[in-house]
Structure 1
């Protein structure tokens, strides 16, 4: 099976004798097996033909290595920190033991410069996931500390080509760092790297850049995302993005992972396709679609599959009014085809696949009318406090937000309501999957939708449900990490769980 354009190799250590001022990143590798070494190190990444930026990396690449393991394997990952700041690794979407979740100050102390930490867990649920730093993550993810994590199922239909596309956004210019108006701490030395340089009190219309300009949302107060002028696929933009070779007749899977802080709307040219999985979880009898957009919010993953039955060179690209979308595209190139690539049409007005009605209804774990052990409501909002913008859950910011207190075995129903005027809130629950039951008061009509990250747009209301089946203290937060760092975080806390972890006040733990 041809997994991607990435190089297959065993874990290797980059040349860490180099300094960030002169080192250059390597090509992202695919690592297989069950024991891995990840080294956090500084480097420089060429993002486009004319932009090279300082980055923080795992194993000297952005994205970091794509880790592929088999379902049921026990995985060990040794993280070594050779950066000037503490780091951790969170396994986004993977139901790991709580002590392995990588949350500084909650499940572990941040790994200090020069130190190591070994993560160990069993990869029991197959699917497309990713990993990233959760220490000062609003800044560290922005600098490049992320990578794909694929759990291959024991029994599954084989595909001929299996590609992973990690989506992200960058600032191409070095804007001087500004103070954080919320009073949250910011990392130094982040010039030109992204979200941390924004003034969260800016009245710039977030909707204009959110979803890359695709979604018409109400205007109002919001944080300025317009500094993003460079969108990337696997750390590259425009002509630097690797082509995706296929042969006629191939069954092709493309795994889309959004590691950025904006939603993107992805269009596959020239082919019918179906959405095989969302957040790693399979869709029951997915329907075939063509010329529809796949809307993918921060933290989400969508696996699409298609039959390579239309020879030529075809684009898979982002859509929107923001001119930066032009860089977020890859070419699907048929081997032996001498036709030139088709034309981009990133401004075309195409409908997005409606996941509320997609696929066929089938057996599900939860219903709207069953009795639940606990019910919670989370009102998500944007407020001005002490001269700065904060993002609240039920009017409070973390750590003052009220946790969802559960016991093992509880069934939990959560109502998520976005009362922000213009900000999307992609809500991510650690350690668990939840089922989406309704949107805006209407039950879902399609396949059971099982997720760990759900985008709640302004004015929307969702009801989700999960079973408390993984003991620990777990984060539940917005994955626009500016919103998380400015307050939109709570926890799911098992009241009958006792942890041996003790936070070190000298560790500099920054969970968001």
Structure 2
């Protein structure tokens, strides 16, 4: 088999050769240290072609950053691009100074400059990292990577309860047949669901197949790092279970029929593999139809631990439970403005298609920070009432907090914690959380073109 057709999950399930990993140094005192460089680089995405992308350490798939719950992480980021950047650690509840939003939480990292990010992840799970500047281009050309936080030591759960742990980074590229880029954003699509890509990949491969241990539980960590696409996942003709949504374990395994993840969202799925030689097909739904997305082939492999009867469940993360009876309500309406501002002060056309509470994001700079969408009191419980008055889906993401989805007018909700909620067209959702992390936190749609054309703001907790 060619490497692009079959990749072993034995190397910690990363689908990566040794050259795809950043330099990692684990100190005796338990710190995890990384050095990551942002570089222009050519990738082979379509076999036999080269794509002029942007990569962390010049690579795609990007280096996987591994950390451990409650242990310090130090990441030195060196900008070798010809434009400014920052790095946001999506879903991690950290100090505002480390959140990676230009001007709001840090100065941009200019070309040739270096910035050190330091934090202690309080939560375990599947997270990811990406720039928060010129996002359509920097993310669209490859600057996306996974951050996996291993669960703290416990007698109740160990990551080794899974015989394999597969990080699966989903991205749909905008490519011509020769590997060059098509336009990453077209205004008429930005005003709808976003400019669609045309070349689907999982860890940089189209419809990959991987080997996994036979007759054992494996954990599939799906992360949607795409600018636009909603993926609708299912395991064909075999029982599978959702064990975690956006890094938050459920109270018990939930049987998987299908599960949709919008841009920025993640889901961990547990599946018991079949006998050696048999395969599992994983599909992606488009409309009412499903198509093969990837497959797993079971092989005989020694197991470190006996296989459990049911899907192993990680412990809940240490989140504050909102007091719903005392919570203050805030209302947010997401709407389609449907207008194009003819030009900005420099004479350049400036698109503004989307609004939050009839306000499009104004942009910001070193001496220009707009007013927040809401000011919250530290330690207080809040319910946000979100109303999507548009005919398109929006994955609404909040930095700095995990919120609890408690109600929807379109589907039955069993309350769960997350950092991003996928809102259907004309859906009204209520989320609740404790404002326990002080700072100015971005609050936006994670369809990157929606974010860049108005559907963004921030909340202030103080």
- TM-score, normalised to structure 2, is 0.82
What does the per-residue CA deviation read over 1:357-376, in whole Å, with 9 as the maximum and x for residues that have no partner? xxxxxx992465x121x321
Q: Which one of the candidate residues 440, 450, 455 is aligned to 1:473?
A: 440
SS in 2 for 1:139: helix
Instruction: Tell me if 1:329 matches 2:293.
Output: yes
Q: Is the 8 A contact 1:417 1:462 kept in 2?
A: yes
TM-superposed deviation, 1:192: 1.8
Map 1:76-95 → 2, pairs under 5 A: 76-95=74-93
* In structure 2, distance between residues paired with 1:424 and 1:67: 30
What does the per-residue CA deviation read over 1:375-395, in whole Å, with 9 as the maximum and x for residues that have no partner? 211100111223655110011
Map 1:416-455 → 2, pairs under 5 A: 416-421=386-391, 423-440=392-409, 444=413, 446=414, 448-455=415-422
Q: Which one of the candidate residues 359, 362, 372 is aligned to 1:396?
A: 359
Q: Which residue of 2 aligns with 1:493?
A: 460
* In structure 2, distance between residues paired with 1:131 and 1:225: 22
TM-superposed deviation, 1:224: 5.4
Map 1:117-132 → 2, pairs under 5 A: 117-132=115-130
TM-superposed deviation, 1:194: 4.9
Instruction: Tell me if 1:382 matches 2:336.
Output: yes
Distance 1:412 1:307, change over 3 A: same
Q: Which residue of 1 aligns with 2:259?
A: 294
Q: Which residue of 1 aligns with 2:165?
A: 162
Q: Which residue of 1 aligns with 2:147?
A: 149
Distance 1:371 1:318, change over 3 A: same
* In structure 2, distance between residues paired with 1:130 and 1:234: 13
* In structure 1, distance between residues paired with 2:437 and 2:455: 23
Map 1:30-45 → 2, pairs under 5 A: 33=26, 34-45=32-43
* In structure 1, distance between residues paired with 2:24 and 2:288: 35
TM-superposed deviation, 1:398: 1.3
SS in 1 for 2:45: strand
Q: Is the 8 A contact 2:215 2:275 kept in 1?
A: no
Q: Is the 8 A contact 2:88 2:131 kept in 1?
A: yes
Q: Which residue of 1 aligns with 2:225?
A: 259
Larger strand fraction of residues: 2
Q: Is the 8 A contact 2:89 2:130 kept in 1?
A: yes
Q: Is the 8 A contact 2:193 2:393 kept in 1?
A: no
SS in 2 for 1:284: strand
Q: Which residue of 2 aligns with 1:345?
A: none
SS in 1 for 2:100: coil
SS in 1 for 2:252: coil
What does the per-residue CA deviation read over 1:387-427, in whole Å, with 9 as the maximum and x for residues that have no partner? 65511001111136752101211111101111012x21101
Instruction: Tell me if 1:6 matches 2:15.
Output: yes
Q: Which residue of 1 aligns with 2:429?
A: 462
Q: Is the 8 A contact 1:2 1:161 kept in 2?
A: no
Q: Which residue of 2 aligns with 1:505?
A: none
Q: Is the 8 A contact 1:51 1:172 kept in 2?
A: no
Q: Structure 1: state its 5+ residue gaps.
A: 10-25, 176-189, 207-220, 338-362, 497-512
SS in 2 for 1:484: helix
Q: Which one of the candidate residues 179, 185, 199 is aligned to 1:230?
A: 199
* In structure 2, distance between residues paired with 1:230 and 1:460: 30
What does the per-residue CA deviation read over 1:59-112, in whole Å, with 9 as the maximum and x for residues that have no partner? 121232111111111100000011111111100000010000000111111111
Distance 1:409 1:73, change over 3 A: same
* In structure 2, distance between residues paired with 1:310 and 1:29: 35
Q: Is the 8 A contact 2:124 2:149 kept in 1?
A: yes
* In structure 2, distance between residues paired with 1:482 and 1:401: 22
Q: Which one of the candidate residues 373, 377, 386 is aligned to 1:407?
A: 377
Q: Is the 8 A contact 2:214 2:300 kept in 1?
A: no
- TM-score, normalised to structure 1, is 0.74
What does the per-residue CA deviation read over 1:316-360, in whole Å, with 9 as the maximum and x for residues that have no partner? 23222699x96x7222011159xxxxxxxxxxxxxxxxxxxxxxx
Q: Structure 2: state its 5+ residue gaps.
A: 1-9, 27-31, 302-318, 343-350, 363-369
